[in-house]
Amino acid sequence: MNSNYSEFYWHDYKYLPYEKELAFREIQAVLNINSFTDMGSHISTSSSFVINLFKRLTYFSHAKINDEIVYTLQYYLESSCHNGNIITNKRQSTRYSVHGLHEYKGKFNPQIAKSLLNILGIAEGQRILDPFCGSGTSLVESTQMGIHSVGFDINPLAVYISNAKLTALSVPADNVEQVGRQIIDGFSTTRREFKLSELPDERLKYLQKWFDKSILFDIETLYLLIKQQDENIRPIFFILVSNLLRDYSLQEPADLRIRRRKSPMPSIPFIEAFKTNFNAFINNLRLCQKLIGVQPRLGRAYIMDSRSDSYSPENNTDTLYNGAITSPPYATALPYIDTQRLSLVWLDLCKPSEILNLEASLTGSREIRGTTKSFLQDIMINNSNNIPHNLHDLCLELYDSLSPEDGFRRRLVPMLLYRYLSDMLKMFRNVYNVLTPNAPFALVVGHNHTVLGGKRFDIDTPYLLAQLAEGCGWRIKEIIPLQTYQRYGLHHKNGIAKESLILLYK
């Protein structure tokens, strides 16, 4: 224990207000410190705490304790570290460890995931659930803290990325590097001899539409080389290639929807880009394993619909979870499948003919397939899914505000919002059934807005979801606003302007 004056220093980059709020909650939850003074560059305290527990904190870089300087594990993970020499970063890193293996739109910030595990008091050896695991951010952070985790997602690419990251944490970096060098060394010879099938299947026909022949030869050569490796390690390399596909395709990379390319193709050969990404990944993995060791496989992602009750175990404490953390989609969410369709097809996770149905099946999807607008309209008007009356009234208000000037997609908004709330109601019921008594459930949720009949409607999705949860028996502890970073690019006007953290307890 330490009982003398201590100073906790921030990382050397700009913080959003909510990050410091989470930092204060962390030191209260992890160190049991309630008395401290914010000095600007650091906080000071004379409270006692366990030094090793300080190393678990997310938003502090180091502490001065008497004459000793103690760094957090997070600082080492986010920083470049060579033989103990620290190189300070001026911006927050969200791609440390295996987080940078594959880009994923709408990705959960890993620092938030880690801090929530600390704040919620999830201990080493316990189990957490992420019902919308995406690319596995919460699963990775859990594994690195010795916490068992299970993630569900209906998107097969999300599940594939998640499991590839978890695999990487469990395989020594030297082994991964050896396989990567074999693939790279064998590329030139295999590429010269490579020929496409004269009878292309549905997968290959689709890829031929979206890649120049030379690039297609490159990615299919790598596909063949990776297929020759041990099946347990293949996903790491498939995902490294997948992460480059949009940039080298005939799809406009900056556009989330399906648009033909107008921007110039990259000047760097595909194999060189693969080498660069591979080397960066190996360096991050090696640093991570140097700090925390090669991790046992504590987490796994499954293709599972959070709206389905098929994953609910029997009432057995050995199969229940000690908490849940997620960043769910919001109403009329990002077009995940459109954005990821090239990877889904190249990895043979989805047939081209299945793309539209898969997109429509996601919670929060903007698409309607296998049903009709009039059918959804009737369900909404009659509240057939029994969502809370005030939320049903909101959907009807949006519906009554429609005007002839509203286009097809805007006219769908009231029905899509109703469908989203109905889906999330099912999710809250299912998660409630698989958590231990008094277990926490933390959700980072984006706000939304729409314009109907010329009037802007701000959709407070966190409030709506909290109301749904309360109707399922959850206790609402609080809703904490989270400021988001300014987004730029082709779709920045449609981005999330703000988010909130919902804290629930069973």
C-alpha radius of gyration, the chain, whole number: 24
Mean per-residue pLDDT, 85-107:
79
**pLDDT tens digits for 476-495?**
999 999 876 443 333 334 44
Through-space distance between the first and last CA atoms of the chain, rounded to whole angstroms: 34
DSSP strand E in 66-166: where?
68-71, 80-82, 85-87, 127-130, 148-153
Burial of 170 (0-12, 13-18, 19+ CB in 10 A): middle
Residue 23, token pair as written in the block? 């930092």
Specify the 3-state DSSP secondary structure of 413: helix
Closest CA to 287 of 53, 71, 4, 73: 73
Handedness of CA 331, 105, 79, 148 (dihedral sign): positive
Higher pLDDT pick, 376 / 158: 158
Q: What is the CATH number of domain 99-170+296-505?
A: 3.40.50.150
Q: How far apart (Å, rounded) are the C-alpha atoms in residues 83 and 192?
A: 41
- Report how far residue 433's alpha carbon sits from residue 437's, in angstroms, rounded to the nearest whole number: 10
Which two three-digit tokens encode residue 52?
A: 């090793």
Nearest to 292 by CA among 98, 433, 152: 98
Q: What is the 3-state secondary structure (H, E, C) of 461-498?
A: HHHHHHHHHHHCCCEEEEEEEEECCCCCCCCHHHCCCE
* CB count in 10 Å sphere of residue 165: 27
Q: Mind giving me the DSSP string for 302-334?
A: EE--TT-GGGPPPS-TTTSBSEEEE----TT--
Q: How many residues in the chain?
A: 506
pLDDT digits (tens, 9 = 90+) for 158-203: 999 999 999 999 999 999 999 999 999 999 999 999 988 877 899 9
Residue 496 near residue 448, CB atoms below 8 Å: yes
* Region 440-447 average pLDDT: 94
**For residue range 3-59, what is the model confidence (pLDDT) as tens digits?**
468 999 999 988 988 999 999 999 999 999 999 999 999 999 999 899 999 999 999
How many Cα atoms sit within 13 Å of 436 on the Cβ side?
Answer: 12
| 301, 148 Cβ separation under 8 angstroms | no
pLDDT tens digits, 127-158: 999 999 999 999 999 999 999 999 999 999 99
Mean pLDDT rounded to a whole number for the chain: 90
Handedness of CA 137, 138, 144, 149 (dihedral sign): negative
Find the helix packing angle between 137-144 and 110-119, rounded to 10°.
50
Which of 76, 33, 25, 39 has its CA nearest to residue 51?
33
Instruction: Please check whether residue 149 is in contact with residue 142, taking contact to mean a CB–CB distance below 8 angstroms.
Output: yes
Q: Smallest Cα–Cα separation from 45: which of 78, 73, 5, 76?
A: 5
pLDDT over 90 percentage in the chain: 75
How many Cα neighbours within 13 Å face the side chain of 151?
A: 33
- pLDDT tens-digit profile of 275-306? 999 999 999 999 999 999 999 999 999 999 99
Residue 210 · residue 249 · CB < 8 Å: yes
| 103 dihedral zone (left: phi>0; alpha: psi -120 to 50; beta) | beta
Question: Distance between CA atoms of 345 and 355, rounded to whole angstroms?
Answer: 9
Beta bridge partners of 263: none
Q: What is the pLDDT of residue 448?
A: 86
Q: Which pLDDT belongs to residue 370?
A: 64
Judge contact between 81 and 24, C-beta under 8 A. Answer: no
pLDDT exceeds 50 at position 101: yes
